[in-house]
Amino acid sequence: MSLPSFDDVCRAQDRIAPWIHRTPVLTSETFDAMSCAQLFFKCENFQKAGAFKSRGAVNAVFGLSETEAKRGVATHSSGNHGMALARAAACRGIDCTVVMPETAPQPKIDAVRGYGGQIVFCEPRNAARQETLDAVIADSGANFVPPYDDARVIAGQGSCAKELLEDVPDLDIVIAPVGGGGLISGTALSARALSPATRVIAAEPANADDAKRSREAGERLVEDAPNTIADGLKASLGELTWQFVATEIDDILLADEAEIVEAMRLTWQRMKIIIEPSCAVPLAAILRHRDVFADKRVGVILTGGNVDLQRLPWA
Amino acid sequence: MSLPSFDDVCRAQDRIAPWIHRTPVLTSETFDAMSCAQLFFKCENFQKAGAFKSRGAVNAVFGLSETEAKRGVATHSSGNHGMALARAAACRGIDCTVVMPETAPQPKIDAVRGYGGQIVFCEPRNAARQETLDAVIADSGANFVPPYDDARVIAGQGSCAKELLEDVPDLDIVIAPVGGGGLISGTALSARALSPATRVIAAEPANADDAKRSREAGERLVEDAPNTIADGLKASLGELTWQFVATEIDDILLADEAEIVEAMRLTWQRMKIIIEPSCAVPLAAILRHRDVFADKRVGVILTGGNVDLQRLPWA
C-alpha cells in the first residue's frame, strides 16, 4: 500500500467537487473569548450525508474504472462511512453493501437504506465483521472501500483542510479529531503542502487514546473496543494512517468524556449548529489546553452532525 | 404613532451593521425535494443573541440621542426581545431594565443577566407587567423599546428581508412567522420596495391564529394567552403591525402543533442547525400547503435558535 500525495488530494478535490458541498467556515465570538484564540470552524456537519466522510467515499467511488464500478462497492461500518459510501454509490448509480453489526443503532441502519445501500448484518465481533465482508466481496466482486486506511480515502479527506486553508490562509494551527486517522492524515498532507508553518494537531478522547500512546511508544498500538461517547473515534490507526500520525503531525491533545459532552452542548447552545460527540473533541481539547492556542489563529474541523436526537448525552 | 417607511429600513440597515451579523442563506436539497420548491433559508438563528430581534433592538438603541441614551432603555419580555435589548444596550454602554414574569424560565433570566440587563420581576398577568414597566420608567426615565409595535423596531426587522432579497433577488415568495407582527411588517416593507412581484406570506400557529382571524374579521383581534409550543408567537398584533398585516401581506397560512414540532425536528436532523419552535412555523406551513409553494423560489426567514436543550419537544 502506497501513501497518497498532495497531488492525490488535488485530484480528489476536482473529482468530488460536483458531488459534495464546499462547506462554510463559521466563527464564534463566544468561543474566541473562551479560548483567547481566533477560531475558524470548517463545518463538515453540513456536508453531504452529514460528515466529512463523503469526501473520501466519493473520491473512492468516482475513481473506479467503468469495469470496476459495475461490481459495486462494499465496506464495514456502523457509522458515517457506511452512510457516505451508500450515498456516493447512489450518485454513481452502482451497488453498495455495508456490513453492520446486528447491534447497530436503528437511525444508522435507516440512513444507509435511505441512500439505497444494502445491509448485511454480522455478529458484533471484529472477526465476524471481516469474515462477513470477505464473503460479500467473494460473492459479488465488489470493491472494498475501507473507512480510513486507504490512499483514495485519505486523499479525499485531505480536500477538507485544503478548502479551509484556501478560505483562511494564515492559520497558526489546524486541529481535527483522530480515530482511524484518515482525516488527520489528509489534513497533514494539505497543511504541509499549502502552509508549512501551520501546526497540525490531533484531538483524541482520553478514553480512546491509542494514537497518542502509539506515538509515545513509537509503534502502532491497537486498542480493543475503547469506551467513549465519541463513537466515531473508537477505531485504531491503520498501517497507512499510522505513518502520517507518526511523522506528519505536531501533537495530540486529549479531552475527557465530560469535556467532550460540554463542548458539544456549548456548540449547540452558542453556535446554533448540531454536531455529534466525536466532532466536539477538538473544541474540548482547545478549552482544556488553552495555553497551546492562546492568541493563535486556529482552524477547527467540525467533522459531522449525525446525532440521534432522541438520545442526547446531557438529557 | 406613524408607520415606518422603506427609507427607515435602509437607515436602520446602515445603523445596525456594525452590531449585528449579516446572516448566511442556506439551502437544503432534502427540503427542496419534500416541498417541490426551491427554499432559501435566511439564518437569523445565527444572529447576535440568537434571533432577528437584535435588529430592531439595536436600531432603537442606537437611534437614541445622547441625552435620551443616558436614561437607558426598558421593556417587558419573557423572550428574545429582552435578551436582544439587553445586548444592544450593552453595545452602547447604557442601562437596560427588562420586566419579566416571576414564572419566566431560568435560561431566559440567565441570558438577560448575561448581557448585563437588570431584571424586575412582576406577577404573571398582563396588567401587572405594564404597571411594573410604568413604574420603572417613571423612576428612571428609561426609554421604552416595545417588542414589536414600534416604528424603529419594525424598520430594524425589515433589514432581514432586505439582506435576503439582496442575496437572492428573484424570489417568488418570502415567508416569515407572525406573532406580534414586527418581523412580517418589516418584511413586507422591504419586499414591496425591492421586489414588488414577490408574494409576502405569514405563517402562524393554528393555536394562536389571531392575525388570520383579524384579517378575516377586518379588525384587529386580541387573543388572550393562546397555548402553543411556538412561544415567540403568542403575542397579538399591535396597532402599527396590524396596518401592515391588514394590507401589505398576501396571505396567512397555519400550521398545527404536531406539524411545528416535526418541522423543527426535521430541520435539526437534516440541516444540522438549531431552531426554536416559533422558527419552525414557516417550514411547517410550507410542508402543509405544498400546492402554494410548488415550483416556486421561496425565501424562508429562520427567526431564532434559542432553545432550552434540556427540554426538547420530542424527547
Same domain, B195 and B112: no
Which of residues B108, B125, B144 is at a domain's end? Answer: B144
Same domain, A134 and A188: no
The phi, psi pair for B224, rounded to 5°, reads -95, 115
For A167-193, the pLDDT digits (tens) are 999 999 999 999 999 999 999 999 999
Same domain, A134 and A176: no
pLDDT higher than 80, residue B1: no
Q: Is residue A310 part of a domain?
A: no
Same domain, A125 and A59: yes
For B68-118, the pLDDT digits (tens) are 999 999 999 988 999 999 999 999 999 999 999 998 888 889 999 999 999
> What's the domain count of chain B?
2
Which of residues B144, B176, B192 is at a domain's end? Answer: B144
Same domain, A204 and A91: no
CA distance A271 to chain B (A): 7
* B269 contact residues in A (CB cutoff 8 A): 274, 309
CB contact under 8 A, B268 and A309: yes
pLDDT higher than 80, residue B315: no
Same domain, B35 and B123: no
Q: Is residue A118 part of a domain?
A: yes
Residues forming a β-bridge with A98: A75, A119
Task: Look up the ipTM and state it.
Answer: 0.94
Neighbour tally for B30: CB within 10 Å: 14
Q: Is residue A114 part of a domain?
A: yes
Same domain, B59 and B82: yes
CB contact under 8 A, B309 and A309: no
What are the residues whose beta carbons fall under 8 Å from the beta carbon of A251, sequence distance 6 or more? A199, A201, A202, A292
Q: Give B224's pLDDT tier (boundaries 50, 70, 90).
A: confident
* B312 contact residues in A (CB cutoff 8 A): 309, 312, 315
The pLDDT value recorded for residue B173 is 98
Q: Is residue B309 part of a domain?
A: no
The pLDDT mean for chain B works out to 96
CB contact under 8 A, A272 and B305: yes
E-strand spans in chain A? 25-26, 38-43, 73-76, 96-101, 118-122, 143-144, 173-177, 199-205, 251-255, 297-302
Nearest-angstrom CA–CA distance, B91 and B62: 9
pLDDT higher than 80, residue B10: yes
CATH of the domain at B287: 3.40.50.1100
CB contact under 8 A, B272 and A50: yes
Nearest-angstrom CA–CA distance, A108 and A308: 9
What is chain A's pLDDT, residue by residue, as a tens digit (315 residues)? 689 999 999 999 999 999 999 999 999 999 999 999 999 999 999 999 999 999 999 999 999 999 999 999 999 998 899 999 999 999 999 999 999 999 888 888 999 999 999 999 999 887 899 999 999 999 999 999 999 999 999 999 999 999 999 999 999 999 999 999 999 999 999 999 999 999 999 999 999 999 999 999 999 999 888 999 999 999 999 999 999 999 999 999 999 999 999 999 999 999 999 999 999 999 999 999 999 999 999 999 999 999 999 889 987
Domain of B133, in residue numbers:
54-144
